[in-house]
A and B are shown apart, each in its own frame.
Chain A
Amino acid sequence: MRLFAVGLSHRSAPVELRETVDFARKGLEHALAELSTRGVGRELVVLSTCNRAEIYAVGDTEGTAEHVGRFFSEYHEIPHEHVREHLYVHRGADAARHLFRVAAGLDSLVVGEPQILGQVKAAYAVASDGQFTAALTNRLFHSAFTVGKRVRSETGLGEGAVSVSYAAIALAKKIFGDLKGRSVLILGAGEMAKLTGIHLQAQHVKQITIASRTLATAQTLAARLDGTAVPWERVDHALSAADIVVTATGASEPVLTRARVDETMRHRRNRPLFVIDIAVPRDVAADVGQLDQVFLYNIDDLRSIVQENLARRGAELARAEAIIDEEVAKYTAWMQSREIVPTVVALRQRFEAIRRAELARLEPKLSGLPPEARARVDEITRLIVEKLLLTPTEQLKAVSDEAMIVAYADALNRLFSLAQDKERGEVSSEEESEVS
């Protein structure tokens, strides 16, 4: 049994193709059932996000990879040539490594993004609920969740916002903690104001107030954000109630001057004020940031934070890869111990069968012995078999190379006719004498 990962992602395929081979459209259950009825693999998991479509399958032969690859075009009814050159195939340990990198966000468009782990979990849950998974995939995906968690907690890979809006929200959280009880004032009602407002709304802020030169546009945005619109003349009043101010007007001169903000700071008894100026040209005079308890960030500041975060994520990659190496080693060791175990068991059974057969053959001669002596004979022969098998067993369990395992298993099967035994169920006396 072998593990295969076959798929395409933003790294290998253009967006048009990724859209075409979206397995989520008809539901993952449907794709899994279809794969299963075609007998493509014994264990199956389908992962489908906007950036990737992948099938994890356990099959007996190399043909499984080919089957799964064909399924991509057959299921979506497109010519196979269109898909083939964009598909990648990973086998065994490489397939595990691939999934672990995906789960950790290393293979994502934005490296370190956290959503993918949830998507991997969901994909596994669907497959597991439909009973398409078994030992290999169960262990594989649980290891992947461990990798995701470890990379998150032990490296800085997922840290730091990588978009301007999230950078602003991360800052707000670092100043105010939870944003739930906080009030937001938005100056301007354009597209940028709306986008930032939507992000803030998602943080469940207490109140969003919108002010714009024209009250009507402010009211439109207020309706969209469940907020209240106030006339432009009331900005100072709204300012003293706000914790976070977003400025995004089209004004050519600064709307908030130092004197104006200083005045409201007195009304607000020095509570911290976070001013996010995303307007170009700037809406807030630079010296506003010098006021005590005022934190002023403009669009360039936020952009440079995003740049730094992206760079820092790059630096954390090596640590994440080290974690992945560790978990891949654990998983493959487990997988291989599973592969070699049947051979070890067969070998031991074979030896034990020979021992019993020999004892049975000698029964006429042994029957004359007193019971203790017979017990000794039984014990000694058993010990000899144990001793003979001790080193080979240890050596087999220590083999870590996948190809070597196959070679060893093959050699042992031939040398001791293990595979035939399994088929015939018992050992013939002819073979037995050859061995002994």
Chain B
Amino acid sequence: MHLLPLLLYAAAAAAYVAHFAWRDPRVGRLATALLAGGVLAHTFLIGMQTVQAGHAPLVGTSAAISAFVWLLGLSYLYIELTSDERSMGAFVAVLLVALDVIPALDPAVTPRPPVLQSPLFTVHVMSLLFAYASFALACVLGVTYALLFKEIKAKQLGFFYTRLPPLATLDLMNSRAITVGWSFLTIGVLVGGIWAWQVKGSSDPRVQAMSLADPKILVALVSWGIYSFALFARKAAGWSGRRAALLSGVAFAVVLLNFVLVGYFLTASHNF
């Protein structure tokens, strides 16, 4: 059962890539159906884990990645259905598959330690995951912007030119995704700070390690800084278009680094 979402995501990714390459509307509809099936199966999986554990499966890096994949799939489906634009699917679905491999290989639900039994913890994790999903979309939009920009600039109108929406649309959607993501990142970090303050007295060694020196917290603040800069630079200095696209790519690389690598190997405070 825990492999089903991954399999459906992989099938959806294949269909999205095929649709992107050959633009057969039937394949496009198939891709959407497969992705919707994957998200649905994933919803059941998370639901079952919630029933089994008695709480939402948000503890531990692999559970968090699973929830992130689920949120990203859901957000993308929403955008596809509201904008009627399927070309991003090829990029998003591949990202879903790459990330969902981790929870699929490591599906065990970590029991929730007493120190995490607070509604603030759920708000903290969910806001950040939603922020990351927005940043992932912004990154995909940025990458596609850069690909299309390169073709138009080089006067080599070809593969991406015929398949991607206009630069202005990509830029606008990128800006929206970053605004939404930044808002949730801010909420997530603030709530995390408040919660850490509340449990300060706990003897849990991970709570003891909550400080700015911890890599996870430090890199999270760095990514908050980068996204804040991206928003500010767009408003104040006209950093839109290619620069905004590059920035959203770099910033998401930092987020991903923090989420997966730092989350698994380096942090002392967030290894629940």
A residues apposed to B, CB below 8 Å: 153-154, 156, 159-160, 171, 173-177, 268-272, 289, 292-293, 295, 297, 301, 304-305, 308
Contact = CB atoms under 8 A, between A and B. Distances in A.
B115 to A, nearest CB: 48
Given A269-B238, A271-B240, A293-B242, A173 B166 contact: yes
A305 B152 CA distance: 11
Contacts of A156: 23, 162
A269 B237 contact: yes
Interface in B156-174: 157, 161-162, 165-169
B161 A174 contact: yes
Nearest to B153: A295
B42 to A, nearest CB: 31
Given A154-B25, A174-B166, A270 B157 contact: no
Contact of B152 (A154, A171, A292, A308): A171
B166 A175 contact: yes
17 contacts: A154-B23, A154-B25, A159-B162, A176-B167, A176-B168, A177-B168, A268-B238, A269-B238, A270-B237, A270-B238, A270-B240, A272-B167, A289-B153, A293-B241, A293-B242, A295-B153, A301-B155
A163 to B, nearest CB: 15
Contacts of B241: 270, 272, 293
A174 B152 contact: yes
Interface string B211-239: 00000000000000000000000000111
Contacts of B25: 153-154
A62 to B, nearest CB: 42
A176 to B, nearest CB: 5
Most chain B Cβ neighbours within 10 Å, of A173, A174, A301, A305: A174
A153 B24 CA distance: 8
Interface of B: 23-25, 148, 152-153, 155, 157, 161-162, 165-169, 237-243
Contacts of B155: 297, 301, 304-305
Contacts of B168: 175-177, 272
A304 B167 CA distance: 22
3 nearest A-B pairs in the assembled complex, by CB-CB distance = A269-B238, A270-B238, A177-B166
A171 B25 CA distance: 24
B242 A176 contact: no
Contact of B165 (A154, A177, A271, A297): A177
Contacts of B153: 289, 295
Nearest to A301: B155
Given A159-B162, A270-B239, A270-B241, A175 B167 contact: yes
Given A154-B25, A174-B161, A308-B157, A292 B242 contact: yes
A176 B241 CA distance: 11
A297 B154 CA distance: 10
Given A176-B166, A269-B238, A270-B243, 17 more contacts: A153-B25, A154-B25, A159-B162, A171-B152, A171-B157, A175-B166, A175-B168, A176-B167, A177-B167, A177-B169, A268-B238, A270-B238, A271-B238, A272-B241, A295-B153, A304-B155, A305-B155
A156 B25 CA distance: 13
Contacts of B23: 154, 156
Nearest to A295: B152
Nearest to B24: A154
